[in-house]
């Protein structure tokens, strides 16, 4: 059980003009589940990293205390017993090769006697429901599976306070619900204090005790009980179950799959499949985590091996020149940083303008888009210092400026708040109308996205097929 | 056998054959290595590969020495030829039978190397397949933006370095968030033992090498 008190907390990044957190005072009561919300880029990750001690707070910039003990006064080896953080990016939180070894590593760090390790390890995996992943390689797991492993590590370490930084950005609804159920149990049965940062508020209403919002003044405010329903309301307008998309039957075939199978390590992802994806249709691909959606995209851009035949406009993609094909079919990577080639925002924009395949994006157009995406004024910033949300928006803008005839978007809304999503979808709509590009989109999040979609492919149980109802 | 002792023995052997010109010793080492690998259940196919892959550099060295060398050209040519195989096969007795985790355990527990070092090396090793894929991805990302990043393109390396710096920072944070503290005591689940047997094998190995070098150099 631990109460966390933030006292006059102020923090600024060296390169920033204004502090990202300014004179924050707040107490998180022990044994409660608090939802921390606010638009992307407002300091949620920073706050959580400060609270974990991963970022150190400069002297005289306020204090963070756990049960009245200042964080800096807690011996580093005892910190993990006090507080643990689950990261936003599932790929960057493990040091070892397999699930089992990662858990052992964490328990050794906690100085658990070796004879107690097997029992603690098994119990943690059972609690999260991933005993079957025990001997798997972390590199071969899907985003959702990795987040489950991350939770298992936290459960095994038995930290009093569990912080989660947008943990569900690349997690499908089933895995998300399962993780949330576990968190609620950790609060109710083990008395853990949980603080979860998210901007997508779907499904939290019945689970949480408090909502804390990051305000425009860079401080934290508790959202009063009476205002909470309105806050959640905005997110509950989910896709109505009556939305249907027709199965396309005519049109110019863009991609054709002939007996295509996909595999990752020893696991088959896709059984031999015949399928056509059409030109000038926006196709949405949904499916649970780890079903193979991203792998399919990697196969389409020749970053992943497959068997069978894949054709683009009637030609086998293996027979096309790599360079020419890359000009036709571009991929918006799930991890925004993968897409960047330069250092500052302005350099990235200039590079895209130089190599763009069309002239729809004039400098004026780009400025307007930057305004629309709330990125104006960041031109001279180093891209790697942008927030995850800002990186994502910039990444999408860059790939739109390129105007490749086909753009595959892998989770384009990942890590974005509602305002950003609406701005982006608007930008996509106007751009599409002018450039006639074909988009294929993988997304878990459908809020705001549905007006763009023409047809829907479902990737589940090793099958990939058109599905009318969602 | 304790991986660190095995590595030490192999380093002594490698150092010694680098400075000797005894064909019989090189051949004997290759044969011993094949026996050792066989006992550890190495597949015949793998052994065949180990014989085929070094053939090209071995022939290259042999012919260079045979054509351009000085002194006893034939002897030197065959010394170099067999030396390559001795390096490859003795090296394989380590890489094919020891996993890096065991080595890290041994370095940390038996030699009291800072755990930061042991786990840093281990984590970097685990990143290797990801790095290979990442280079492919960086080049593809360049092509999709109309830019060809060749193997001598500075941008490719800039990106690769950025990615590595980023990964190393994230890795440090990941380790810290899983309770790792530099120089702090840890418990050890996998016990890495250093038996008297290991020291005896090391001693016998080194003595055996000296016999092979100084006492019975058959050539």
* Alpha-carbon Rg for chain A in angstroms: 23
Question: Residue A206's pLDDT band (boundaries 50, 70, 90)?
Answer: confident
What whole-number percentage of chain B has pLDDT above 90?
33
Contact call for residues A84 and A90 (beta carbons, < 8 A): no
Nearest-angstrom CA–CA distance, A236 and A233: 5
Residue with tokens 């309301």: A233
Nearest to A330 among B119, B129, B144 (CB): B144
pLDDT at B218: 60
Angle at B157 between CA B156 and CA B159, to 5 degrees: 70
Residue B182 C-alpha, separation from nearest chain A C-alpha, in angstroms: 9
Given CA atoms A243, A247, A250, A251 in this order, what sign does their dihedral have? positive
Instruction: Indicate whether B211 pLDDT > 90.
Output: no
Chain B residue whose CA is closest to A155? B178
Residues of B in contact with A83 (CB under 8 A): none
Query: What SS3 state is found at B168?
Result: helix
Residues of B in contact with A326 (CB under 8 A): 140, 143-144
Residues A91-95 have a mean pLDDT of: 82
Q: Tell me the average pLDDT of chain A.
A: 88
Kindly list the distances between the CA atom of residue A374 and the CA atoms of A347, A369, A380, A394, in Å, as whole numbers in the listed order. Answer: 18, 8, 15, 10
Residues of A in contact with B101 (CB under 8 A): 97, 101
DSSP string, A139-197: GGS-HHHHHHHHHHHHHHHT-SEEEEESTTTT--HHHHHHHHHHHHHHHHHH--EEEEE
Contact call for residues A235 and A245 (beta carbons, < 8 A): no
Nearest to B126 among A96, A322, A352 (CB): A96
Query: What SS3 state is found at A450?
Result: helix
Contact call for residues A212 and A48 (beta carbons, < 8 A): no
Interface test with B, best of A87, A88, A95 (most B CBs within 10 A): A95
A387-445 pLDDT, tens digit per residue, is 888 999 999 999 999 999 999 999 898 878 888 899 999 999 999 999 999 999 998 77
Residue A156 C-alpha, separation from nearest chain B C-alpha, in angstroms: 10
Residues of A in contact with B123 (CB under 8 A): 95-96
Kindly list the distances between the CA atom of residue A359 and the CA atoms of A159, A297, A353, A399, A431, in Å, as whole numbers in the listed order. Answer: 54, 27, 8, 13, 12
User: Which residues are paired to A410 by β-bridges?
Assistant: A442
Residue A239 C-alpha, separation from nearest chain B C-alpha, in angstroms: 33
- B110, with CB counted inside 10 A (0-12, 13-18, 19+), is middle
Inter-chain contact B136–A80, Cβ cutoff 8 Å? no
A37-72 pLDDT, tens digit per residue, is 987 667 888 899 999 988 888 888 889 999 888 888
Residue B59 C-alpha, separation from nearest chain A C-alpha, in angstroms: 35
User: Which residues are paired to A83 by β-bridges?
Assistant: A161
B166-184 pLDDT, tens digit per residue, is 888 888 888 888 999 888 8
Q: A136-145, A197-206, A338-347 — which one is most confidently predicted on average?
A: A338-347
Angle at A425 between CA A419 and CA A431, to 5 degrees: 135
B197-210 pLDDT, tens digit per residue, is 999 999 999 998 88
Contact call for residues A204 and A198 (beta carbons, < 8 A): yes
Inter-chain contact A92–B176, Cβ cutoff 8 Å? no
B212 DSSP 8-state letter: I
Interface of B with A (CB under 8 A): 101, 119, 122-123, 126, 129-130, 133, 136-138, 140-148, 155, 159, 162-163, 166-167, 170-171, 173-181, 184-191
> Angle, nearest 10°, between helix axes B154-177 and B115-144?
140
Please report which helix (H) or strand (E) contains residue A67, including its range. Answer: none
A6-20 pLDDT, tens digit per residue, is 999 898 877 666 788
Inter-chain contact B179–A109, Cβ cutoff 8 Å? yes
Nearest-angstrom CA–CA distance, B21 and A263: 50
pLDDT at A15: 64
Question: Residue A236's pLDDT band (boundaries 50, 70, 90)?
Answer: low
Kindly list the distances between the CA atom of residue A400 and the CA atoms of A101, A298, A331, A358, B3, in Å, as whole numbers in the listed order. Answer: 42, 19, 11, 10, 53
Interface test with B, best of A108, A140, A323, A324 (most B CBs within 10 A): A108
Inter-chain contact B189–A52, Cβ cutoff 8 Å? no
Inter-chain contact A106–B185, Cβ cutoff 8 Å? no
Residues of A in contact with B171 (CB under 8 A): 92, 95
User: Which residues are paired to B168 by β-bridges?
Assistant: none
**Span of A88-97, A189-198, A239-248, B88-97 with lowest mean pLDDT:** A239-248
pLDDT at A233: 79
Nearest to A77 among B174, B184, B189 (CB): B184
Inter-chain contact B145–A337, Cβ cutoff 8 Å? no
**Span of A271-275, A323-327, B213-217 with lowest mean pLDDT:** B213-217
Q: What is the phi/psi pair of residue A217, to 5°? A: -85, 15
Question: Where does A203-344 have alpha helices with state H?
Answer: 228-236, 293-300, 322-328, 336-339
Q: Which of A263, A257, A265 is nearest to A308 (CA)?
A: A257
Q: Which residues contact A164 (CB under 8 A, 6 or more apart)?
A: A48, A85, A86, A183, A194, A195, A196, A197
Instruction: Indicate whether A234 pLDDT > 80.
Output: no
Residues of A in contact with B184 (CB under 8 A): 76-77, 109
Inter-chain contact B155–A341, Cβ cutoff 8 Å? yes
pLDDT at A366: 94
Chain A residue whose CA is closest to B122? A96
Inter-chain contact A327–B146, Cβ cutoff 8 Å? yes
What whole-number percentage of chain B has pLDDT above 70?
98
A244 DSSP 8-state letter: B
Q: Which two tokens stand for residue A177?
A: 């619900």
Tell me the Ramachandran region of residue B98: left when phi exceeds 0, alpha when psi lies from -120 to 50, beta otherwise.
beta
pLDDT at A238: 52
Residue B113 C-alpha, separation from nearest chain A C-alpha, in angstroms: 16
Chain A residue whose CA is closest to B150? A323
Residues of B in contact with A323 (CB under 8 A): 143, 148
Interface test with B, best of A329, A341, A357, A383 (most B CBs within 10 A): A341
B66-92 pLDDT, tens digit per residue, is 888 777 888 888 889 999 999 999 999
Nearest to B189 among A84, A114, A330 (CB): A114
Nearest-angstrom CA–CA distance, A108 and A118: 11
Query: What SS3 state is found at A310?
Result: strand
Kindly list the distances between the CA atom of residue B74 and the CA atoms of B55, B56, B126, in Å, as whole numbers in the listed order. Answer: 18, 18, 44
pLDDT at A266: 62
Question: Where does chain B have alpha helices with state H?
Answer: 3-19, 23-39, 44-52, 55-68, 73-95, 100-109, 115-144, 154-177, 196-210
Q: Which of A275, A256, A236, A235 is nearest to A456 (CA)?
A: A275
Nearest to B159 among A85, A93, A341 (CB): A341
Kindly list the distances between the CA atom of residue B32 and the CA atoms of A20, A171, B16, B28, B38, in Å, as whole numbers in the listed order. Answer: 65, 52, 16, 6, 10
A357 DSSP 8-state letter: S
pLDDT at A14: 72
Q: Which of A435, A468, A467 is nearest to A280 (CA)?
A: A435
Contact call for residues A437 and A407 (beta carbons, < 8 A): yes
Instruction: Indicate whether A114 pLDDT > 60.
Output: yes
Size of interface A-B (CB pairs under 8 A): 139
Instruction: Indicate whether B55 pLDDT > 80.
Output: yes
* Alpha-carbon Rg for chain B in angstroms: 22
Residues of A in contact with B164 (CB under 8 A): none
Instruction: Indicate whether A447 pLDDT > 90.
Output: no
Inter-chain contact B187–A112, Cβ cutoff 8 Å? yes
ipTM surpassing 0.95, yes or no?
no
Residues of A in contact with B155 (CB under 8 A): 341
Residues of B in contact with A85 (CB under 8 A): 177
Residue A54 C-alpha, separation from nearest chain B C-alpha, in angstroms: 7
Chain A residue whose CA is closest to B120? A95
pLDDT at A460: 87
pLDDT at A391: 92
Residues of B in contact with A404 (CB under 8 A): 144
Inter-chain contact B101–A101, Cβ cutoff 8 Å? yes
A355 DSSP 8-state letter: H
- For residue A355, how many other CB atoms are within 10 A of its CB? 15
B106 DSSP 8-state letter: H
Nearest-angstrom CA–CA distance, B51 and B144: 41
DSSP string, A74-140: S-HHHHHHHEEEE-S-GGGS--SSBHHHHHHHHHHHTT--GGGHHHHHHHHHHHHT-GGGTTSBGGG
Residue B171 C-alpha, separation from nearest chain A C-alpha, in angstroms: 6
Inter-chain contact A76–B181, Cβ cutoff 8 Å? yes
């Amino acid at each position: 059980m631990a109460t966390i008190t933030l006292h006059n907390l102020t923090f600024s990044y060296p390169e920033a003009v204004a502090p990202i957190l300014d004179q924050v005072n707040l107490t998180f009561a022990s044994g409660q589940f608090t939802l921390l919300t606010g638009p992307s880029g407002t300091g949620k990750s920073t706050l959580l990293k400060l609270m974990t001690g991963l970022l150190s707070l400069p002297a005289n910039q306020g204090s963070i205390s756990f049960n009245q003990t200042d964080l800096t006064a807690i011996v580093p080896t005892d910190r993990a017993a006090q507080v643990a953080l689950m990261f936003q990016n599932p790929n960057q939180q493990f040091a070892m090769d397999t699930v089992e070894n990662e858990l052992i590593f964490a328990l050794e760090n906690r100085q658990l006697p070796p004879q107690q390790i097997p029992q603690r390890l098994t119990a943690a995996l059972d609690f999260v429901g991933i005993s079957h992943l025990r001997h798997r390689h972390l590199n071969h797991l899907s985003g959702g599976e990795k987040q489950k492993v991350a939770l298992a590590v936290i459960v095994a370490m038995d930290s009093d306070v569990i912080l989660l930084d947008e943990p569900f950005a690349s997690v499908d609804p089933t895995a998300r619900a399962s993780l949330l159920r576990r968190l609620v149990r950790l609060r109710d049965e083990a008395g853990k204090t949980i603080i979860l940062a998210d901007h997508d508020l779907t499904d939290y209403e019945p689970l949480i005790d408090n909502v804390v919002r990051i305000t425009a003044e860079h401080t934290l405010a508790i959202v009063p009980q009476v205002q909470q329903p309105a806050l959640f309301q905005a997110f509950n307008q989910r896709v109505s179950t009556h939305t249907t998309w027709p199965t396309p039957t005519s049109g110019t075939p863009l991609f054709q799959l002939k007996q295509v199978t996909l595999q990752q390590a020893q696991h088959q992802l896709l059984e031999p499949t015949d399928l056509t994806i059409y030109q000038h249709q926006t196709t949405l691909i949904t499916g649970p985590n780890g079903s193979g959606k991203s792998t399919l995209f990697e196969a389409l851009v020749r970053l992943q091996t497959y068997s069978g035949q894949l054709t683009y406009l009637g030609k086998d993609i293996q027979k096309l020149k790599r360079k020419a094909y890359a000009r036709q079919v571009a991929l918006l990577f799930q991890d925004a940083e993968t897409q960047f080639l330069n250092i500052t925002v302005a350099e990235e924009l200039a590079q895209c303008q130089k190599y763009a395949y069309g002239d729809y994006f004039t400098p004026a157009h780009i400025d307007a888009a930057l305004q629309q995406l709330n990125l104006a004024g960041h031109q001279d910033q180093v891209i790697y210092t942008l927030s995850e949300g800002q990186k994502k928006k910039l990444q999408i803008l860059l790939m739109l400026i390129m105007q490749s005839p086909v753009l595959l978007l892998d989770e384009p809304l990942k890590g974005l708040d509602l305002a950003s999503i609406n701005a982006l979808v608007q930008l996509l709509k106007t751009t599409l109308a002018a450039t006639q590009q074909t988009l294929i989109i993988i997304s878990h999040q459908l809020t705001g996205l549905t007006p763009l979609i023409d047809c829907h492919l479902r990737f589940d149980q090793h099958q990939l097929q058109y599905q009318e109802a969602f | 056998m304790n991986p660190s002792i095995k590595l030490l023995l192999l380093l002594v052997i490698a150092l010694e054959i680098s400075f000797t010109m005894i064909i019989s010793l090189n051949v004997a080492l290759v044969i011993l290595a094949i026996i050792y690998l066989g006992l550890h259940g190495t597949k015949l196919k793998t052994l065949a590969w180990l014989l085929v892959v070094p053939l090209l550099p071995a022939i290259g060295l042999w012919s260079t020495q045979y054509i351009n060398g000085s002194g006893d050209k034939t002897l030197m040519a065959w010394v170099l030829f067999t030396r390559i195989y001795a390096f490859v096969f003795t090296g394989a007795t380590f890489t094919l039978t020891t996993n890096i985790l065991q080595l890290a355990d041994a370095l940390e527990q038996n030699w009291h190397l800072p755990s930061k070092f042991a786990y840093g090396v281990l984590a970097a090793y685990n990143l290797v397949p990801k790095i290979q894929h990442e280079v492919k991805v960086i080049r593809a990302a360049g092509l999709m933006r109309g830019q060809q990043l060749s193997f001598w393109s500075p941008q490719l390396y800039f990106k690769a370095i950025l990615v590595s710096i980023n990964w190393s920072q994230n890795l440090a944070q990941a380790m810290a968030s899983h309770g790792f503290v530099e120089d702090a005591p840890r418990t050890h689940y996998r016990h890495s033992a250093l038996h008297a047997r290991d020291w005896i094998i090391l001693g016998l190995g080194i003595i055996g090498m000296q016999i092979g070098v100084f006492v019975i150099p058959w050539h």
